[in-house]
Amino acid sequence: MNEVVQFLQSNPVQYLATVGRDGKAKCRPFMFCFEKEGKLWFCTNNQKDVYLDIQENPEIEVSVSSVDYAWIRLNGTVVFENNKDVKVACMENPIVKGQYQTADNPIFEVFYLDHAKAVIADFSGNPPKSYTLY
C-alpha cells in the first residue's frame, strides 16, 4: 500500500477513466486525496458528469506516469461515503478548499476504491509490481 500511496502523492495529477453514460470511455484529470484506514480516498463534485457516470457504473481506473517513465494503473469499485472526517481532511488541500470552501458543501463528495488493485511498472524490463488493496 505504501508504494501505491507514495506513487500517487509524487504524481499529483492522475487521470481517472470511467465508462460514460453514453457507453463511451471518458478520461479526465483527477487528484488523489490520501489513504486513511487502508482506503484510497478521492473527491469530486456531485454536479459533474464524472459523478453521474460513476453512479451508473462505479468501476473506474486511475493512471499516471512519473517523470522517470514509471506508471501506475489503479482500478476498483467506487464507494461514495458521507464521511465527515475525510471531508474535513480533504479541506487541507488548498485546491479542494478553493473549490468547495467547507466540508459541509452539499456538492462536495468523497469516495474510496473498494477491491482496489494496482500495478506499478516501468521500461526497465523488470516485472511489474502488483498490489491488492482491499
pLDDT, mean of residues 18-29: 96
What's the number of domains the chain is made of?
A: 1
The closest alpha carbon to 112, from 133, 88, 91, belongs to: 133
- C-alpha cell at position 81: 461515503
Rounded to 5 degrees, what are φ and ψ at 7?
-65, -45
Q: Does residue 1 have a pLDDT over 90?
A: no
Q: Does residue 134 have a pLDDT over 80?
A: no
Q: Domain of residue 115: give its range.
A: 2-133
Q: What is the CATH number of the domain that holds 21?
A: 2.30.110.10
Total-model pTM: 0.94
Q: What is the pLDDT of residues 33-87, one digit of tens each?
A: 999 989 999 999 999 999 999 999 999 999 999 999 999 999 999 999 999 999 9
